[in-house]
Amino acid sequence: MTTAVIKPEAKARNRSLKQFLNHRAAVASAGVLILLIFTAVFAPWLAPYDPYDLAMTDTGMLEFEAPPSRTFLLGTDAIGRDVLSRLIFGGRISLTIGLVSASISILVGSILGVLAGYLGHWTDLVLSRFADAVSTFPALFLILTVSSFVRPSIFNVMAVIGLLSWMPTFRLMRAEVLRLKQVDFIEGAQALGANNFRIMLLHLMPNAIAPIIVQATLGVAEAILTESALSFLGLGVQQPIASWGNMLADARNMTVLQSQPWLWLPPGLAIFVTVLAINFMGDGLRDAINPRKG
């Protein structure tokens, strides 16, 4: 009995995996992302210098605004810190913020979505209009405004981004639950006397996971971009902590933009490559999961 239930699902999963592996851009992107995560996790061992302190050459010299050389592969910044080391540690911050913010928004969106979809009636009406209302505000407007009166810290940046971007997940989860409610097994569970909480947590949410995963991937990309914009404007991650966004803030100075491209080009490219890879992977996942597209 159990095997009969599991088999078709396993087959579907295999097909999805095959689909995903056929998507060359997505596979390449997954490789890039694994490399980035590896770099972020092992940052203290990979970074050649301390990202927060003056970097010294072998001969004990300090260099300020030095262009890339063999000692400092990506040069140094205005206060003599090694750019490569800051880039590696900055990736840690940017990726963490992206992942945590997206997790918060997925969690909030899924819970509200399953409540709206399953309970229906007034709960649905109020939550749906609430989601509409929050997404009527331009996202960055609201995030900037709220960021201005909370203390700027990594935790607050994650909370603000996460709590203000749950709406797409909410809509997706709600639609999935509305669809699943028509399926027999939910009725079966109800008939067996399962309570609402159990049905939502054990029957509805796990079955809606596929589209949510795609949404989560895109959410991470979006959150990384938002964090970088906030930090670039000076309202996100604060110095001396490095994030890819605040490393670019220096380039608002015309001299830096003009004659010290090593200060702003690498972090900018890092954000671009990361977000591009996540988006391509999300696209591959979407194709793999969506059974209509063959």
Partner 1 sequence: MIPFILRRLIQAFFILVLVTFISFIIMNMAPGNALQTFIDPRIPPSELAKAEASLGLDQPLPVQYLRWLKAVTEGNLGYSIKSGGGVLELILSRLGPTLILMGSAFILMFILALIIGIVSAAKPYSLTDYIATFTAFAGISIPGFFFALTLIYIFAVQLGWLPTSGLRTYQENLTGWSAFIDRVRHLVLPVTVLAFTGVAELVRHIRSAVTESLAQDYIRTAKGKGVSPLKVLTAHALRNSWLPIITLIGVALPRFFSGSVIVEVIFAWPGMGRLLVDSVFARDFPVAMGINLFAAILVLLGSLLADTLYAVADPRIRYE
Burial (CB count <10 Å: 0-12, 13-18, 19+), residue 120:
middle
Q: What are phi and psi of 62, to 5 degrees?
A: -100, 140
Task: Using the minimum distance from each CB to partner 1, give the nearer residue, 186 or 263.
Answer: 263
> How many residues bind to partner 1 according to rule CB under 8 A?
43
Nearest CA-CA partner of 91 in 232, 281, 268, 240: 268
Q: Which stretch binds partner 1 (CB under 8 A): 49-57, 106-114, 175-183, 230-238?
A: 230-238
Residue of 95, 102, 172, 235 that binds partner 1 (CB under 8 A):
235
Q: How far is the CB of 188 from partner 1 (least distance, A)?
A: 33
67, 262 in Cβ contact below 8 A? yes
Q: How far apart are CA 83 and CA 106, in angstroms?
A: 34
Q: How big is the CA angle at 207 (ends 205 and 212), to the nearest 5 degrees?
A: 70
Residue 57: which of 263, 247, 66, 44 has the closest Cα? 66
Binders of partner 1 among residues 130 to 169 (CB under 8 A) are 130, 132-142, 144-149
Q: Does 275 bind partner 1 (CB under 8 A)?
A: yes
Figure out which of the listed residues 11, 13, 18, 129 binds partner 1, where binding follows CB under 8 A: 129
27, 175, 276, 289: residue in contact with partner 1 (rule CB under 8 A): 276
CB of 139 to partner 1, least distance (A): 5
Helix (H, G, I), strand (E, B) or coil at 146: helix
Q: Write out the residues near partner 1 by the rule CB under 8 A.
A: 129-130, 132-142, 144-149, 221, 225, 228-229, 232-235, 245, 248, 251-252, 257-258, 261, 264, 268, 271-272, 275-276, 279-280, 283
